[in-house]
Amino acid sequence: MESSRREFLKVAGVSAVGMGIGTQPVLDAFAASGGESGEAKAPKMVRGENALTAVHWGMVIDTRKLETAADLEPLIEACHKVHNVPHHEIKRHEIKWIWETEYHHAFPGKSNKYLNEGAEHRPFLVLCNHCENPPCVRACPTKATFQREDGLVLMDFHRCIGCRFCMAACPFGARSFNFRDPRPFIPETNKKFPTRCKGVVEKCNFCAELLAEGKMPACVEASNGAIAFGDLDDPESEVRKLLRENYTIRRKQTLGTEPSVYYIV
């Protein structure tokens, strides 16, 4: 009994320090160990040797090279497999990071009455736009969704409280919520990426975990060159070259969120 009481006091003491009630030197020591109260002093993260880096990651999808649903399926499958996205039977519970839709749904504001054959019949890939001004990041009350320096909009699945404010804020319907435990619905678990628990939001992460290993995003790899991925800030990058040479559109750019995904139609 005595020892468990002491344990309790110790824990309570540390919690009090964590909340900023303790004395300064202790606070510093706690901050140095990575405590939340001293985010500025947190240990420096070291980047992997092979990690791919950019000032502003972006994507260009050449929809001319993705003619049919069969062309898109391997891309979607690759993404959902590597990220342990569950296959729910009930549509209400559905989770998707990247999926196909029609032109009219991908670009509701640019839906011309008379479209050319290609746009009319071609399936379009949609995913998180990793906006420069992400409304989801603005809305999140816990910083569980945040924007990294290189433009990636990411999620901390352990901090998310499941309020779904980010889902209301996203103008692209890019976010999904775990309405139930996803694990029984993952056909084959990829041990290199975390599975999620029920009650948290998730979405495309531009394969931040693969970039850190020096690999390109899964959908880009599976696209046979139809999707280019690179640094929008670098005039010499492949994405910028494509943007120079082709007329491209973005989803709902009038809303000012500045999507980082461009489409060649």
Please answer whether residues 214 and 243 qualify as being in contact, where contact means their C-beta atoms are separated by less than 8 angstroms.
no
Nearest approach, Cβ of 207 to another protein (angstroms)? 21
User: What type of residue is 66?
Assistant: L
Nearest approach, Cβ of 256 to another protein (angstroms)? 7
Radius of gyration of the chain (CA): 22
Burial of 236 (0-12, 13-18, 19+ CB in 10 A): exposed
Nearest approach, Cβ of 215 to another protein (angstroms)? 28
Q: d(Cα 75, Cα 19) in Å, to the nearest integer?
A: 46
74 vs 173 by CB, closer to another protein: 173
> Closest Cα to residue 37, out of 59, 50, 22, 56?
22
Chain residues that interact with another protein, rule: CB under 8 A: 36, 90-96, 101, 104-106, 108-109, 126, 135, 138-144, 159-165, 167-173, 175-181, 197-201, 252, 255-257
124 vs 262 by CB, closer to another protein: 124
Nearest approach, Cβ of 220 to another protein (angstroms)? 23
104 vs 215 by CB, closer to another protein: 104
139 vs 212 by CB, closer to another protein: 139
136 vs 210 by CB, closer to another protein: 136
Q: String of b and e for 79-102 (b: at least 16 CB within 10 Å)?
A: bbbbbbbbebeeeeeebbbbbbee
Nearest approach, Cβ of 197 to another protein (angstroms)? 8
Strand pairing class (201-202; 176-177): antiparallel
Please answer whether residues 227 and 239 qualify as being in contact, where contact means their C-beta atoms are separated by less than 8 angstroms.
no
133 vs 190 by CB, closer to another protein: 133
Q: d(Cα 204, Cα 207) in Å, to the nearest integer?
A: 7
Nearest approach, Cβ of 170 to another protein (angstroms)? 7
Please answer whether residues 134 and 263 qualify as being in contact, where contact means their C-beta atoms are separated by less than 8 angstroms.
no
